[in-house]
Structure 1
Amino acid sequence: MVAHATSIGRRAMADPDRILDSLSTSILIVDDAQTLLYLNVAAETLFGVSRNQVRGRPVAELLVDATALTLVVERAMETWRPISRRELALRPVNGDGELIVDCNVAPYEEPGTPGAALIEISDGTQHQRITRENALLTQIGGSRAMIRQLAHEIKNPLGGLRGAAQLLERQLGDAAMREYTSVIISEADRLATLVDTLLGPGHHPRKESVNIHELLQHVGHLLAADAPPNVSVERDYDPSLPPLLLDRHQIIQAMLNLGRNAVQALSQNGGRIILRTRALTNQNIGTKRYRLVACIQFEDTGPGVPEQLRDTLFYPLVTGRPDGTGLGLAVAQDLASRHDGLIEFESRPGLTTFTILLPFHAPDARQAS
């Protein structure tokens, strides 16, 4: 038995590439000029390349801006000791966006190479996204309670104000004076409508089997009708998406709120809005993992979300527009949460994407860590 285990150990030691390829952590080896000597399978996946394609080329060619990574490697090689950096932002040339990673660089001597460095990269993007989603879900509960309390506090005296104005109007014989009471009544009605919007739908979602593309087509037509001539509405659908069980009116309202925000963001300088659908497998929404999730995106080429609003964007009454109410995103987030879903966003100047995640099935027994 001992001899058999020793034999297995020798075979494993004789094939270190197989060991490295079995790791979920990305491993790269570079020489003292930061030329790539080796990538394992996880690194190939992370950077969207094959090892044969990039071996012998500078590691900087893997990234849009490699400054952050190359500085860590240089520091490790200069001091000849391991260097670690947490939450390093990297944007692979062949990737879909920015990655947040934890990076460890350890210098060592490889046969035939005077100086080399082993780079270990752990993708922290998923963990960061789960943390952000949990914060959003917590925010939904708090803001919903605050909205309802505020709405009730406003609605009760508002009814009394309107009633008093109606009684006063009946007592006034002067038509010019009755115009003032009409203004009070109309403004009270406008505020009541605003309060009803704050309170949201008073019933649980009336769910039915719905083709999400049917709803998106409807929303797309409404957006195109509202948009100025310099704004185009385009579609990029995944036709394989199965039907979803949802309240069509609530989800249409949530999508309209996102789409109208996009139209308003582009109204000055123009641009394009893309309505996109995709299916995501084994996706987390907060701490729950779902086997299949519908990903519905509203992408626009506008100026982006102001930095100072990003952490509070889904709070009620938060808006970046002088004429905005700050209710559209808060209501949309509430409606998505009623379907066990979530709305998240990514934004930079020239590209903003709001994503609605809606699960198809009950969550897996396993919870996201």
Structure 2
Amino acid sequence: MNNNALLNQLLTGILILDDRLTIRYVNSSAESLLDHSAKRLLGELFSAAFYHCSLASETLIECLNSEQTVLNAEVHFALHSGHDIRVETSIQTVDQEFGRALLLELKQVDQLRRINQEDQQRNQLFATQHLLRGMAHEIKNPLGGLRGAAQLLARQLPDEKLTEYTDLIISQSDRLRYLVDRLLGPTKRGESKLTNIHEVLERVVRTLTYEYGESLKLTRDYDPSLPDIRVVPEACEQVFLNIAQNAAQAMSGAGTIVIKTRVEHQLTLFGLRYRQCAVVTVTDNGPGIPAELRDTLFYPLISGRAEGTGLGLSLAQNLVHQHKGKIEFDSSPGKTRFSVYLPYLTADNGNEVMDDH
């Protein structure tokens, strides 16, 4: 494996500049971080490759001439794609076949925070599922006995009018059992198949339109080049419906929801790197998520609404994790966005989409 192939395996972004500050090498992580392909960046002057960069050309020339090393300098990039990123940048001189060069190591400042969030999300999911399985066993067994006793009692009651009370016990036992089953999520693995994610989203749009009518404005921003993805379509429909319904309910059914699809390249999810991920974002213009709910938002039975069960997002997170994906959100008054990342799985990182419960 040559040096460039090794650099391409790094999770740190790498740029190599020649003595004229022309970009001569870009690894995959830098492509993802800077939101540009190597084809687009190679041969560009560093100063022209971005809309704005706080790292001055004079600083780079000085580093090259004096062979000075810069460690962990924070640099602001305004990308042509419209994104702004803060990057921890280290600079050192290296020898290349074309002469003396600069090697830039780029790490997104919030990358560590993102990794910590992923770890927290994964641990939260495992702990929740373990707790729920234990609770389900302890709750469902007494419920079965309670329901059976009510049925036996109903047969012995001399007054038929009294059976309304045993019927109430039976119906409430069934309701609690259904609630416990929903907490656990689906017990059977669905069949994964190549799926057009836009067809799944259109079913969600139709459901919301039927439920809320014209008071809810639904805007689509689909990427027509999005490749089909191997998923369980019914599970994905449930995920997007739960997220979108949450948004609609937060706005009392009157507001705007934007559903957007894109492809992201060279994305790392839970320590595994994927060449491509489908990204579906659901954005609303509602009041935002209360600060006190944000750390526990995906826990079951956590809801910002008095009438809410708090099951929708917990179930959505569980289903997305079964697809080896991830849910993120950011929220402020007037804008809440949920982002669902679904990797395109290959033989290199596993071709099983759903994991057993």
Tell me which residue corresponds to 1:156.
141
Within 5 A, what are the aligned runs for 1:222-261? 222-227=207-212, 229-261=214-246
- Structure 2 residue 117 is the aligned partner of structure 1 residue 132: yes
Change (3 A) 1:95 1:129: farther
Cα offset for 1:22? 8.3
Structure 2 distance, partners of 1:280, 1:22, is 21
Asked if structure 2 preserves the Cα contact closer than 8 Å seen for 1:133 and 1:344, the reply is no
Structure 2 distance, partners of 1:149, 1:234, is 42
Taking structure 1 as the reference length, the TM-score comes to 0.69
Cα offset for 1:202? 1.4
- Structure 2 residue 328 is the aligned partner of structure 1 residue 344: yes
Asked if structure 1 preserves the Cα contact closer than 8 Å seen for 2:53 and 2:77, the reply is no
Structure 1 distance, partners of 2:22, 2:237, is 50
Percent of residue pairs identical: 41
SS of equivalent residue, structure 1 residue 232: strand
Tell me which residue corresponds to 1:41.
46
Structure 2 distance, partners of 1:310, 1:183, is 37
Asked if structure 2 preserves the Cα contact closer than 8 Å seen for 1:44 and 1:50, the reply is no
Of 156, 159, 170, the residue aligned with 1:174 is 159
Tell me which residue corresponds to 2:174.
189
Structure 2 distance, partners of 1:209, 1:292, is 15
Cα offset for 1:96? 5.4
Taking structure 2 as the reference length, the TM-score comes to 0.71
Tell me which residue corresponds to 1:313.
297
Could you give the per-residue CA deviations for residues 290-329 of structure 1, whole angstroms, max 9, x where no partner exists?
0010101111111111111111111122111111111111
**What runs of 5+ residues in structure 2 fail to find an aligned partner?**
1-17, 31-44, 58-71, 91-104, 350-357
Change (3 A) 1:91 1:167: farther
Asked if structure 2 preserves the Cα contact closer than 8 Å seen for 1:134 and 1:287, the reply is no
Structure 2 distance, partners of 1:178, 1:364, is 61
Within 5 A, what are the aligned runs for 1:1-369? 18=21, 41=46, 45=50, 48-49=51-52, 99=85, 123-227=108-212, 229-267=214-252, 270-362=254-346
Change (3 A) 1:348 1:249: same
SS of equivalent residue, structure 1 residue 310: helix
Change (3 A) 1:43 1:137: farther
Structure 2 distance, partners of 1:143, 1:96, is 38
Cα offset for 1:98? 7.0
Task: Give the aligned residue type for 2:331.
Answer: S
Tell me which residue corresponds to 1:112.
none
Runs of 4+ residues over 4 Å off in structure 1: 19-24, 90-104
Change (3 A) 1:303 1:103: farther
Larger Rg: 1
Structure 2 distance, partners of 1:240, 1:20, is 29
Tell me which residue corresponds to 1:6.
none
Structure 1 distance, partners of 2:46, 2:264, is 22
Give the superposed CA RMSD. Answer: 3.3
SS of equivalent residue, structure 2 residue 336: strand
SS of equivalent residue, structure 2 residue 288: coil
Change (3 A) 1:298 1:18: same
Q: How many residues align?
A: 288
Change (3 A) 1:312 1:98: farther
Asked if structure 2 preserves the Cα contact closer than 8 Å seen for 1:274 and 1:298, the reply is yes
Cα offset for 1:225? 1.4
Asked if structure 2 preserves the Cα contact closer than 8 Å seen for 1:291 and 1:363, the reply is no
